[in-house]
Amino acid sequence: MHTLVAHSAILIIAIPLLAAFLTPLISRVSKKARDILVIATLVFVEFLVIILAKDIYLNGIHIYTLGASSPSLTIPEHYMVPVRIILEVDAMSIFMGIISATVSLAATIYSISFMKEETGGDRFYTLLLLLVVGMLGLEFTGDMFNMFVFLEILSISGAALAAFRTRFADALEGGFKYIVISAVGALVILFAIGIFYSQYNLLNIAALAQAMQYTMLDKIALALLAMAFTMKLAGVPMHMWAPDTYSVAPAGTTPMIYIASQACLYGLFRTCFTLYGVTLNTATIGWIVIIIGVLSMFVGVTMAVHQSDVKRLMAYHAISQSGYMLLGVGVGLAVLGNPEALASYGREAMSGGIFHIINNALYKGLLFLTAEALFFRLGTRDLNKMGGMCRNMKYTSIFFIIGALAISGIPPFNGFTSKLMIYESVYRFNPILSVIAMLVSIITLASFTKAFQAAFTGPALPQYKDVKEVPKPMLIGMGILTIIIIFFSLFPGLIVNSIVNPATDALINQATYINAVMGGL
């Protein structure tokens, strides 16, 4: 058990990577064995993430040096700087890891029955596992170049998954937009990495953060990194790809591509807080993040209101919800250099934003899955052609109601808790921002009322008389997320204290992250 914890960081990345290329081989023997292998892999990853999380909350940052005689030997003898690839998992990384592992597991269980009716299942599962590798690697790595590599793994597999149903022209379009955005974004990040290397001869995040001079070149690199990550997380004004990509991705992959974008959100936070930290002019950068957040919130929700395609509607809400996270964490960033304001409301705003990431991943994932369930049974995503589905699909409609109430911030659901934290603390920073956030929440409720009314209520339509409830694996996938949402709704205090606040502190305390690798040199 002790050995397992010590090596868990690399195992979490290596096991799905190995399984990804085993799946096509296993499926030659039996399709069922392949499905079991994929699920077993993700269950094991989830287990490893949980034991690693427990270790991190007890003993602090977990370091894993690849190729060293001991995992904690970050700086080889006779060297002054870390030269090996290092995985550095702190409370924020593992927080994102928990989200990725949990949502991927639910989404993959959901996908199984879907894939029975599609061809090319082997490739689907290979790409799915590679997407998991990309997300977890991006979250766990302590090395800039590694971050680029995992970002590319995530992008290529995500784009291939989005375009998986090649018989639809719009699927190809969604996939193509995603890969173009990702390719440009990743190259911009590589350019920024080149700028860092030219100045400091370093690639390790902790070592770079320690050496950071905040010269003109560093400012350019910050702008490039921030732009690339904002592009990848679909922040307004670079959100154009998101509705096209999210609406066409098959089965359970939409929530996964969505949380892959959240992993890029993590990349943005890691860059701002850990790589630059207080050396940068936090008030200005914080305000830029806040403005992108408010724009995303508002533009996302106003575009969502008039959509008639159920998945496009949800995709625009996804953009809008990312705005809350950017707003909450942006307020924290803006007051990072001011300990008094940070203690009185900045930290709570950040906790609210970070708590919103996990809440949103859960209910947004659930809503994407219910939308895909409608498409699975009805063959259309057009809300105007649906109606009366609560008679045929009882469980799906219950899941939809829970997800819709949670996203609209209706008490007692978990969306309410995190939004309340954001409202309260942002109000003390700037009341207008808080008012906009509440307004957006109300429009969200209106939009989801419309979607629910169109799809699930109304008279039974004759052409859908024989529509049945979706198969069991799909219900299990949605059920897992629903149970976690209800648990989070009942015990918000427990969640905030045990996993959210450590993540916030991990972002604020740059020195802890640096010392874990540099050993206080």
Partner 1 sequence: MTGTIFNIPFLAVAALVGIALYIIISQRNLIKLVMGITILESGVNLFLITLGYRAAGIAPIYTNAPEGVMVLPVPQALTLTSIVIGVATTALMLSMIMLTYRHTGDIDSEKSRRMKG
Quickly list H helices, 273-346: 282-305, 310-334, 339-341
Name the segment binding partner 1 (CB under 8 A); options: 180-188, 277-285, 289-297, 344-352: 180-188
CA distance 218 to 234: 24
Q: Containing H/E element for 482? A: helix 472-490
Burial class (CB in 10 A: 0-12, 13-18, 19+), 494: exposed
The answer to whether 158 contacts partner 1 (rule: CB under 8 A) is no
How deeply is 511 buried, as exposed, middle or buried, from its count of CB atoms within 10 A (0-12, 13-18, 19+)? middle
Contact pick of 159, 272, 314, 481 for partner 1 (by CB under 8 A)? 159
Nearest 10 degrees: Cα torsion 389, 391, 393, 398: 90
Closer residue to partner 1, CB minimum distance, 179 or 222: 179
Tokens representing residue 466 in the block: 């024989």
Give me the least distance between CB of 305 and partner 1, in Å please: 13
Does residue 169 touch partner 1 according to CB under 8 A? yes
Treating both helix axes as pointing N-terminal to C-terminal, what angle do 121-140 and 31-59 enclose, rounded to 10 degrees?
10
Of 120 and 194, which CB lies nearer to partner 1 in the complex structure?
194
Decide whether 194 or 339 has the Cβ nearer to partner 1.
194
- Interface stretch with partner 1, choices 148-156, 209-217, 289-297, 421-429 (CB under 8 A): 148-156
- Cα–Cα distance list, 28 to 22, 23, 25, 37, 329 (Å): 10, 9, 6, 13, 48
Distance CA 141, CA 85 (A): 8
* String marking each residue 243-272 x if it binds partner 1 according to CB under 8 A: xx----------------------------
Q: Candidates 38-46, 160-168, 462-470, 496-504 — which segment interacts with partner 1 by CB under 8 A?
A: 160-168
For partner 1, the binding residue among 38, 303, 329, 517 (CB under 8 A) is 303
SS3 label, residue 89: strand
Question: Does position 180 bind partner 1 by CB under 8 A?
Answer: yes
Q: Are 235 and 261 in contact (CB under 8 A)?
A: no
Instruction: Determine which residue in the list 108, 155, 254, 261 makes contact with partner 1, applying CB under 8 A.
Output: 155
Quick one: which of 136, 179, 263, 507 contacts partner 1 (CB under 8 A)? 179
- Contact map string, positions 459 to 498, toward partner 1, x by CB under 8 A: ----------------------------------------
Distance of CA 135 to the CA centre of its chain: 8
Site residues for partner 1, window 324-353 (CB under 8 A)?
none
Q: CA-to-CA distance for 220 and 162, rounded, in angstroms? A: 32
- Report the amino acid identity of residue 38: V
Can you name the residues that pair with 204 across neighbouring β-strands?
Answer: 143
> 186-245: which residues touch partner 1 (CB under 8 A)?
186-187, 190-191, 193-194, 197-198, 201, 203, 240, 243-244
DSSP code string of 373-428:
HHHHHHS--BGGG---HHHH-HHHHHHHHHHHHHHTT-TTSHHHHHHHHHHHHHHH
Least Å distance, CB 389 to partner 1, is 23
Cβ at position 195, least distance to partner 1 in Å: 9
List 30, 72, 166, 497, residue binding partner 1 (CB under 8 A): 166
Q: How far apart are CA 90 and CA 93, in angstroms?
A: 5
Q: How many residues at the interface with partner 1, by CB under 8 A?
A: 36
Quote the tokens at residue 311. 């998945």
* Tokens 């859908």, located at residue: 464
Q: How far apart are CA 263 and CA 229, in angstroms?
A: 9
Taking the complex as a whole, the smallest distance from the CB of residue 489 to partner 1 amounts, in Å, to 32
Q: Which is nearer to partner 1, 64 or 316 (CB)?
A: 316
Residue closer to partner 1 (CB basis): 240 or 438: 240
Cβ 198 to partner 1 shortest distance, Å: 5
Q: Is 47 in the site for partner 1 (CB under 8 A)?
A: no
CA 466 to chain centre: 37
Provide, rounded to whole angstroms, the least separation between the CB of residue 313 and partner 1.
11
160 binds partner 1 (CB under 8 A): yes
Q: Report helix angle 144-162 to 169-200, nearest 10.
A: 170
Binding site for partner 1 (CB under 8 A): 145, 148-149, 152, 155-156, 159-160, 163, 166, 169-170, 172-173, 175-176, 179-180, 182-184, 186-187, 190-191, 193-194, 197-198, 201, 203, 240, 243-244, 303, 312
